[in-house]
Amino acid sequence: MAGFVYSFQKLSVLIVDDTEYMLSLLTTILKALNFGVVLSATNGQDAKRILEDNRPVAEAKDDLVVDIVISDWRMSPGDGAELLHWIRHHKSDSIKFLPFIMLTGYTEHARIIKARDLGMTEFLRKPVTVNSLVGRIGSVIERPRPFVSAPTFFGPDRRRQTLPFEGPDKRKAKDG
Amino acid sequence: MADQNGNGAKVRYIHRPNTLKMKVGGAPDSEAGMVDPVDLERARNAVREMAETYPAEVEGQLQKLQELYEAAASGSGSDRYDALVEIRDIAHEIRGVAGTFGYAGCAKFATSLFDFTRSPDSFSDAHVMVVKIHVDAIRVLLRGGRSAETGPEITELTNSLKLAISRLSTRRGR
């Protein structure tokens, strides 16, 4: 049984897709769900500019202009993978911790692994439906994973579940 | 101190407050929320409305696909390549949207066309014929509506496509 009804009015989403029709479709869905602000960009380069322009001067917790990024993979200039890499390596906390939903028609396992290793939060497969989109946004809200900062990775913990393990701890690195 | 492979380097877990949940009206420790069913229905209705106008919206892309196919068929070298790259881009657009509006068959052909034209350098006339069958199928499926997916025209085009692709494979094998 759900505890409360979401009010998306205070949330802002940046959608990035090189197809005008897809932008229009996603905007229509998000507006119908009463999202407060829906920003759009047609490529990674535009998206970076929007994120930079809307970055709060002070890193106040409630002052983030963009709350979630939903981005296509295949775009130019600046594809989704490059945008995700830029976000996760940004100096500003308001950008580097942004939930990032990778939206793509590429569903090969290698692609999913690559997006995961770049620090994506969720993977949304085209064709998009209202249910699939709402499901991914719900996961971002309800099941945020801790971020992992390691020498070769920065992003949401790539392990989605904790399985019991009985045996000696062989890890060389320690939790911080 | 970490070695050059990162062994022994510090791994930090960063737990951030769930500000998103608070923004949507929940508390960090509250039960999972739900989307207002009224909002959900409004969103589904909005998609249904877009689906009704989609064939008209995509008509321009269909015409463009036909023109590009003709350019690819009559051209060679970089002219053929450029036309095929544009075809690939339109196929990418159609495959992304058509499925959302229930045109699963169309999305399938668009995906197949996109995959086929991923690397369109040195495409022969036989390759361009495969492109044509895809373009014809997409046009039939979008203009004929969802009922066209089980119609005889699509069955025939699907069989032609299989034959054309198998001929290509045979030639490659020689």
* Cβ distance of A140 and B107 shorter than 8 Å: no
Question: Does position A164 have pLDDT exceeding 80, yes or no?
Answer: no
pLDDT in tens, B28-62: 888 999 999 999 999 999 999 999 888 888 889 99
* Cβ distance of B50 and A28 shorter than 8 Å: yes
* Residue A176: predicted pLDDT: 42
* Residue among A126, A131, A78 nearest A103 (CA): A126
* Residue A117: predicted pLDDT: 94
* Cβ distance of B43 and A32 shorter than 8 Å: yes
* Residue A169: predicted pLDDT: 67
Residue B7: partners with Cβ closer than 8 Å, 6 or more residues away: A172, A173
Give the number of A-B residue pairs with CB atoms closer than 8 Å. Answer: 165
Please, are residues B99 and B135 in contact by the beta-carbon 8 Å criterion?
Answer: no
- What residues of chain A lie within 8 A of the CB of B39, using their CB? 8, 32-34
- Where do the structural domains in chain B lie, given as residue ranges? 58-173
Instruction: Choose the closest CB to B31 out of A3, A129, A134.
Output: A3
Domains in chain A (CATH in brackets) are: 8-156 (3.40.50.2300)
SS (H, E, C) A54-101: CCCCCCCHHHCCCCEEEEECCCCCCCHHHHHHHHHCCCCHHHHCCCEE
* Cβ distance of A1 and B98 shorter than 8 Å: no
Q: Which of A81-96 are b and which e, b meaning 16 or more Cβ less than 10 Å from the residue's Cβ?
A: bbbbbbbbebeeebbb
pLDDT in tens, A107-156: 778 888 999 999 999 999 888 999 999 999 999 999 999 999 999 999 99
Please, are residues B98 and B62 in contact by the beta-carbon 8 Å criterion?
Answer: no
The structure tokens listed for B158 are 């699907």
- What residues of chain B lie within 8 A of the CB of A126, using their CB? 95-96, 99-100
Among the residue ranges A13-22, A110-119, B163-172, the one predicted with the least confidence is B163-172
- Classify residue A108 by burial, with Cβ atoms within 10 Å: 0-12, 13-18, 19+: exposed
